[in-house]
Structure 1
Amino acid sequence: MFLNLSFDPVRLPPECDELRKEVRSFLAQEVSNGTWDPSDRSTVRKIDRDFARRVGRHGWIGITWPTEYGGGGKTFLERYVLQEEMIVAQAPATSFSTADRQSGPILLKYANEAIKREIIPKIVSGDVSFCIGMSEPNSGSDLFAASARAKRVEGGYVVRGTKIWTSYAHECQYMIGLFRTADATETDRRHGLSQFLVDLSLPGISVNPIVDLSDKHSFNEVVFDDVFLPEDRLIGIENEAWKQATSELAYERAGPDRFLETVFVLFALVEVLGSSPAAREAEGIGRLVAQLHTLRRMSVSVSGMLANGAEPTLQGSIVKNLGTIWEQELPEKARELAAFVDRSTATYQKFEHALRDATLIAPKLTIQGGATEILRGIIARALGLR
């Protein structure tokens, strides 16, 4: 039963070490220049188009994409290193992360040549941002239940419906939207879904803010009121987008962003406990680091599979499930380990600030990119358990 599940052992090659040094040096210089403050999470999560363009000039957006479209032609393992360094440095990569991680690869694989020539170079240069149009108010993570509809008309489609939890849609130029173009059949709930490239400046599109627990605005509700999409905006084959969307989720779910989003808490914990922690604290840090290392090895393995042309949807779902639970639980575990620390110091205040930030964003971690319950259903089905 478990023969279908494997994580290939993968070691990062020497070129990854060279790239890591280059990226780390670049990011250190950006921090020195005041581009962002790693201790201030509000600067980390902002859209910074100028930073994106500087990253683009280094060839680090679309680093794995074909050079004929402006991509870097590098491996997924090199991309892993780049992404890991960006996250650990708390770099403001929001403006290009979604396009680099999943939207660009989907366009390269399924879009027509005109779209590729038009859009991919703009992503690579850091000039445009993408959001994801999958979840809906009444369906959540059950994408089969999507009801926002794209009705075929002369020359294209008219879209009506709502998407929700569309991160940074208010600052993005494009969305890859999943819309229903036909009814599902009795034997196939997956039938009837199609993907489209959506220009968010089109008439009839409204972007409404959803403010989260940290009083920040990154989520949105996007409403489509009879929005016309030209026929050439269809991505792939009409009514058969579920396979494409599944492929997209393999890119989305397995990267280091699925277990490193609150890692700044671990760094702050190590600092506040000092160089000679008590046995209880030392053991706790050891466990956290061992768990983190395991998640990292699994994620690197998925990158290796992607580099070999595979679509490790099962493995990606496992990484996302385990990783987001780990990063969600990290603040509370860190608070317990620091229970006996002197709270009057500036170091402890810095630690408390990190805890507050991580605690407020923690609830979304096991929802975004696929809720835990949905992921466990995917894993169980893939293992023949349901």
Structure 2
Amino acid sequence: MSQLLSAFRLAALPPETHAFREEVKAFLRAHLEPAPADVRARSWMGFSAGFSKKLAARGWVGVTLPAQYGGASLDAFSRFVLVEELLAAGAPVSAHWIADRQSGPLILKFGTEAQRAFYLPKICAAEAFFCIGMSEPNSGSDLASVATRAVRCEGGWRLNGRKIWTTNAQHCHYMIALVRSSGESKDRQQGLSQFIVDLSLPGVSVRPIHDLAGDAHFSEVLFDDVLLADDALIGTEGSGWAQVNAELAFERSGPERIYSSIVLLEHWIACLRRTPGASAHAATIGRFAAHLATLRNMSIAVTTKLVNGESPVVEAALVKDIGTEFEQSIPAVIEAAIAMDPEGAVDPELYRAVAYVSQVAPTFSLRGGTREILRGMIARGLGLR
């Protein structure tokens, strides 16, 4: 336990990131179209290939990837600042989001040189969007029980199975899928591999899933005898479990795990500033500020580990679990605050924003690993199971 707690000592971003933050703010002022809070609150899930291409033209997609592949060769601290500012502004980031955050770094770390040379420049130019193929029907959050299978054949691999809750699959060019390449489901983590799947291949079907807010960010993806070339395999056959855990450390550790509701919170505070009697909510805002400051420090501490070349799987799981609770509490508290004054006028923009975030907030504790799975990982990391 002491080793885990020591990972979260007081942390701070390096001084050189301050100038970079001002660059990002200036870029957003110049290139981000004004939008109401309920639109900006979709930032995480807001899909705009055009905005992603503007960001790429500035060199800020694949920001941590090496310059030789089109990246900016910046460190994880710079990416932290970039993501923090994008989410705070409510920028639509989901087009390039997954490729920038995890698919690119995964290919860089485990891929062949041919894979790096082909995929990474496309990612950095916002010309290749990626989705993640992990969850499956009837598997819940038990990632090791995947049944989608790749079988060796003449010319490569034959892929059959299904993936579900795949974010933006209908808009993406590629999926990095965790599938079984040997053994049976009872073999659990053994025999799993990762493949890059071109979603335009024959036999791939994508079925969007509409959520409560009327959006279709998630999809079910079906593979019916899809032929993958030999070079679709990432890393070595059977190493998928170790690779996917390294990938999840990227997914769970950044500021995106604490800022999903930040546009809503900021707009509520702006509304309170022009509302008589708003001081009644000062203590609530103070608690939010204290929680956010603590979570931000924890996230920076995990980022420090990434910069040092470590793979902070357990620490990232802890940040994601606590951060999700914080994100989900914001719309619930704001709804309760509105209900305290049933006769009071509600800003229409605030009403739309809180309605949207309340509808999607349950997904916060699903994406990137459910609360129960994360707490099991944390318990193992603490030696409690």
TM over 0.5: yes
Give the 3 Å change call, closer, same or farther, for CA 343–219 of structure 1 in structure 2: farther
Q: Distance in 2 between matches of 1:131 and 1:343?
A: 45
TM-score under structure 1 normalisation?
A: 0.94
Specify the SS of the correspondent of 1:160: strand
Q: Which residue of structure 2 lines up, in the alignment, with residue 208 of structure 1?
A: 207
Q: Distance in 2 between matches of 1:372 and 1:78?
A: 28
Q: Distance in 2 between matches of 1:76 and 1:214?
A: 33
Q: Distance in 1 between matches of 2:36 and 2:334?
A: 22
Which range is displaced more, 325-334 or 367-376? 325-334
Identity %: 43
Give the 3 Å change call, closer, same or farther, for CA 343–175 of structure 1 in structure 2: farther
Specify the SS of the correspondent of 2:238: coil
Give the 3 Å change call, closer, same or farther, for CA 280–20 of structure 1 in structure 2: same
Q: Which residue of structure 1 lines up, in the alignment, with residue 377 of structure 2?
A: 378
Which range is displaced more, 298-307 or 160-169? 298-307
Aligned residue type for 2:29: A
TM-score under structure 2 normalisation?
A: 0.94
Aligned residue type for 1:104: G
Give the 3 Å change call, closer, same or farther, for CA 204–273 of structure 1 in structure 2: same
Q: 1:384 offset after TM fit, Å?
A: 0.5
Aligned residue type for 2:30: Q
Give the 3 Å change call, closer, same or farther, for CA 43–250 of structure 1 in structure 2: closer
The 5 A counterparts of 1:116-135 are 116-135=116-135
Q: Which residue of structure 2 lines up, in the alignment, with residue 365 of structure 1?
A: 364
The 5 A counterparts of 1:183-198 are 183-184=183-184, 189-198=188-197
The 5 A counterparts of 1:306-345 are 306-341=306-341, 345=345
- Residues 322-365 of structure 1, C-alpha deviation per residue, up to 9 Å, x if partnerless? 111111121111222344458654x6222211110110101111
Contact 1:63 1:72 in 2 (8 A): yes
- Note the residue ranges of structure 1 that are not aligned, 5 or more in a row: none
Specify the SS of the correspondent of 2:2: coil
Q: Which residue of structure 2 lines up, in the alignment, with residue 231 of structure 1?
A: 230
Contact 2:38 2:356 in 1 (8 A): no
- Note the residue ranges of structure 2 that are not aligned, 5 or more in a row: none
Q: Which residue of structure 1 lines up, in the alignment, with residue 20 of structure 2?
A: 19
Q: 1:273 offset after TM fit, Å?
A: 2.0
Aligned residue type for 2:57: R
Q: Which residue of structure 1 lines up, in the alignment, with residue 112 of structure 2?
A: 112
Aligned residue type for 1:384: G
Q: 1:65 offset after TM fit, Å?
A: 1.2
Give the 3 Å change call, closer, same or farther, for CA 113–343 of structure 1 in structure 2: farther
Aligned residue type for 2:233: L
Contact 2:146 2:185 in 1 (8 A): no
Number of aligned residues? 382
Aligned residue type for 1:58: R
Aligned residue type for 2:243: Q
Aligned residue type for 1:359: S
Q: Distance in 2 between matches of 1:31 and 1:70?
A: 23
- Residues 205-262 of structure 1, C-alpha deviation per residue, up to 9 Å, x if partnerless? 0000100010111100000000010111100111121000000000000111111111
Give every structure 1 segment of 4 or more consecutive aligned residues whose post-TM-superposition deviation is greater than 6 Å. Answer: none
Q: Which residue of structure 2 lines up, in the alignment, with residue 54 of structure 1?
A: 54
Aligned residue type for 2:22: K
- Residues 92-116 of structure 1, C-alpha deviation per residue, up to 9 Å, x if partnerless? 1111010001000100001111111
- RMSD over aligned Cα, in angstroms? 1.9
Aligned residue type for 2:48: D
- Residues 27-55 of structure 1, C-alpha deviation per residue, up to 9 Å, x if partnerless? 112235x6x55542487444222211111
Contact 2:249 2:311 in 1 (8 A): yes
